Structures are given as C-alpha cells and as structure tokens.
Amino acid sequence: MQNETQQIVNKAWSFANLLRDDGLSYMVYTEQITFLLFLKMAHERTQPPWNHPTIVPAGLDWPSLLVRDGEELETHYRRILTELPKLGGMLGEIFKKARQEIQNPATLKRLIVDLIEPEAWMSMRADVKGDIYEGLLAKSAQESPKGAGQYFTPRDLIKAIVDVMRPTQDETVCDPACGTGGFLLAAHDHVVREHGSALDTDQKRHLREDFVRGCEIVPATARLCIMNLYLHGISADRSPIQSGVDSLANEPRDRFSMVLTNPPFGKKSSIQIVNEEGELETESDTYERQDFWTSTKNKQLNFLQHVKTLLKEHGSCAIVVPDNVLFEGGAGETVRRHLLQQFEVHTLLRLPTGIFYAQGVKANVLFFDAKPAREKPWTERLWVYDLRTNKHFTLKMKPLRREDLDDFVTCYRPGERHKRKPTWSSENENGRWRAFAYDELATRDKLNLDLLWLKDSALEDSENLPEPEVLAAEIVEDLHAALEAFEAVAQELQSPGEITT
C-alpha cells in the first residue's frame, strides 16, 4: 500500500478512538464512514470535470451537512439516513437499514470536516481509494473479530485462489456469501491487471456492470461490500449485490461461469429473513430444495450444494470449506459422492490453522468444474496440497502471506493442469503435493476426503515445537474446535435424523 494511502487509512482509523468512548464497535465506525464517504463522492461527481447529474436529492446531500453544527447537524444526518433508503437503486442499497450511531455532534462534525471533506476522493485512482477502504475493512476485522472478521477472508489467500482460477474479461463471477467483497474485487482486479490494456469498449462495460454478482444476508455488511466495489470502479447504477437475501433459500435464477466463495463458518443452518429493524429472524432449520442432492441442517453442505447449482456448464468453482465437509457421514457422504461423480473435483488445498479471525477453524479450498451429464464419474484424480502439516501461522505474530502460497500456485499449473507432477513420492515422503485416483477415493470409508500423509515433526521431535505464542494460539483453536464438536453432538441428540437421497 502506498504511503499516501496508508496515511489516509491511519488518519481515518485515528478517529475510531473518538468513538470508542461512545461504545461503538470498529465495524459500526467503518459503516458510518461508508455513509459519509458516499455522500461526499456523490457530490464530487456533480462538480467539474465530471458534471454528472446529482443522484442525491438537494437538502439531503453533502453540502447540507457542511453548513450545519451541533444538534441541528445530528438531527439532519438522521433525516438523511431515514430518507435515502426510500429512493431505491444503488443509493437505497447503501443506506438500507441505516442508523445514526454517532451520538456526539462534535465528533460527527470532525468526521465530516477533518476526515472526509479535505480529500478529493473522486480524483484518486480507483486502486488507491479502494486500498484505503480495504485498509479500513482489514482493521475492522483485526480489531473486532466478532464484527467484520466473520465476513473477512485473508486477502493473501484470496489472491492465491484468484491467481490459479485466472478469471478473464468474459467471465461472470459470483459469490453467494460475499461479505465485504474480497473475492469479487480480487477477480475484478486480476482482469484489470492482466488484460486491462487490451479490453475493447464492450469488455470494459461488461467489467463495470456485469462481471461480478453477489449476495449478502446482513445489510450492514452488504453496504460495505457495495461501497467497496464502487470505490474500485464498478458501476453504481445497478447494485451487483443482493442485500438482506438468504441465497440458500431458493433456486438461483442466474448461472455463472465462475464461483468464488468462503461461506460463513458454523455447522447448523437455518433459513433466515431480515426484519424491518435489520435483524435476523429464524424461519426454518432445513432447506427443502428440489435441486439439492440431500436435505441437511449442515450450513456448509448446503452452501456446497447451492454453489453447484450456480455454475454454468463448464463453469469453475473455488470454495472454502471446513474439515467436516470432507469426512462427515450421512448427508456429507451423499454430497461428496454426487459431487465427485457429476463434477470434476480436481484440487484440494488443505489450509493451515491460525489464518482466520474465527477461532478453531480447520479449513480447505475445494476446486471443481461443472460438466455435462454422463454415467462415468467426471473426477478421475484429486490433487491435494497440504499447507497445514508443520505449518504455523497466527493473525498478528506470523500472518499468512501470498508468498507462502507460491509453491501451491506453481504446483497447481494454472491453465495447464494436465502437466501436473507430484512432489510426494516414496523417495520424497515430505512432498506436499500428490494425487489420489477416484477409484482409491471411492473405496474409502464414507468416501472420506480428509487426506493427510505428512508426519507432524512436533510429534517426532520436541525440538521442532513451534514458538510458545504460536503453540498457545493452536491450543486455543483446538479447544474451540473441540467445543464446537461437542455442541454439534448435543444438537444432533436433540433433533431428528437427516434425510438423504
């Protein structure tokens, strides 16, 4: 991130300390910045050299905030947040369910006059102002794991996934659980970086208007995503994000050439609706969809089934899934069996612990392609890369970096998977990359894909133990995982068995 960008991020973040005494979370602070930033940029668009028609009604715009002080300012700001959601479109989506959370008029005035007003946001390059906003989102996730963190996938992991998926300018990319938009933005930036200079007028328009689509059930998070896309140059005329929509509830209307997603962690699933106050309500525990292979309460299995319905024929997918998706019986076995038969499941990346804001997560990235119907299974061999065994990361002391995934990207052979070669062999038992034939997988108990073969060096030699802070973090993660497992057992004992088909 450039120095000027980092300076603005630090300046923006310094104001968060003013709001901590008011009991506001970092996530809420970033949300309030979103409202003010959008009003400022909407006003800038009406000025030279852009001279665009205003999309914000007079009297509810940025200048109307600048001329007010004290309680009058606070009252007027609340009116703006009440009136703008009624206008619909991109404007309505950003201000949907908006609330005035800054109770101190002096603090609100400082945010407007000292933080937002001095910067010419529309004059900044899209990548600069996008990086500024990404910086705010990243800090929100780091400082408040129960806020932004649950929607925030490590950006370096996203970069590696997009680097191997290699989206092109002609793709349509979807994330049905898009959070703050990390996957969608990385795909967009990849096309700009790799193909930007060669794009014709129609391709540029497609990239702005139709390249990305997403769903996010939590309106507050959806508006952060929409704003993030807008700041990166994606068209604001028609919102690419469906806000307050449970993407699992119904069969999708559209199909896409690529799906990139990290669905929310957590085992139990329920159909959810958003009430008038913007809060989630539970409607049912199980999704009954005719296009699913099985009915289950497992959220991750439902997302995996949903993703396969989103793909066009020959479309490709990368999805982050927890370990239980790989080995769980019943509905889990049903989903895995159908997936390996009807899709080409070609790659599994075993992720290390300590890289997510949610504690105790052991996750993987599953890569597969949609294929036309046939009797013979489409999956011939599954290539597995083990980035977990003898790898130790923490969020702050030793975070995952993009270079930590260089070897995986090299082994993946993007664009030429037929040339893959294993690094594991009987002569090199420490190789992290090996293939498993479908016939071998099909004979495993419950078609278990929890594939690990490397020896844990810490078990072999105590001198190879990780640093104390890393070890402590791993113990905490294991305890969280164990507690989640016990909770899952308790839930199963209290609920009827799952229906499989």
Q: What is the band of 252 on the pLDDT scale with cuts at 50, 70, 90?
A: very high
497 pLDDT more than 50:
no
Computed over every residue of the chain, the mean pLDDT equals 85
More confident site: 23 or 149: 23
Specify whether the CB–CB gap between 364 and 265 falls below 8 A: no
What percent of the chain has a predicted confidence (pLDDT) above 70? 82
pLDDT at position 24, please?
Answer: 77
Task: Name the least confident of 42-56, 93-107, 480-494.
Answer: 480-494
Task: Name the least confident of 144-148, 433-437, 497-501.
Answer: 497-501
Task: Name the least confident of 25-29, 47-51, 465-469.
Answer: 465-469
Q: Distances in Å between the alpha carbon of 138 and those of 141, 156, 242, 277, 355?
A: 5, 12, 22, 27, 13
Average pLDDT rounded to a whole number, residues 236-263: 90
Specify whether the CB–CB gap between 348 and 385 falls below 8 A: yes
501 pLDDT more than 70:
no
More confident site: 140 or 74: 74
Task: Name the least confident of 51-55, 66-70, 487-491.
Answer: 487-491
Assigned token pair, 312: 């066009």
12 pLDDT more than 70:
yes
pLDDT at position 203, please?
Answer: 95
Run of H or E including 363: strand 363-370
Task: Name the least confident of 59-68, 89-98, 242-251, 279-288.
Answer: 279-288
391 pLDDT more than 80:
yes
Dump pLDDT digits (tens) for 178-202.
Answer: 988 999 999 999 999 999 899 999 9
150 pLDDT more than 60:
no
Largest CA distance in the chain: 76
Specify whether the CB–CB gap between 92 and 85 falls below 8 A: yes
Assigned token pair, 488: 């899952």
pLDDT at position 276, please?
Answer: 45
pLDDT at position 287, please?
Answer: 82
Q: What are the φ and ψ backbone dihedral angles of 362, each rounded to 5 degrees?
A: -115, 115
Q: What is the band of 145 on the pLDDT scale with cuts at 50, 70, 90?
A: low
Average pLDDT rounded to a whole number, residues 29-57: 89
Dump pLDDT digits (tens) for 298-345.
Answer: 999 999 999 999 999 999 999 999 999 999 999 999 999 999 999 999
Q: What is the band of 8 on the pLDDT scale with cuts at 50, 70, 90?
A: confident
pLDDT at position 281, please?
Answer: 52
Specify whether the CB–CB gap between 129 and 231 falls below 8 A: yes
Task: Tell me the C-alpha distance between 299 and 243, whole Å.
Answer: 19
Specify whether the CB–CB gap between 432 and 444 falls below 8 A: no
More confident site: 218 or 361: 218
Classify strands 381-386 and 311-322 as parallel, antiparallel or unpaired. Answer: unpaired
More confident site: 139 or 459: 139
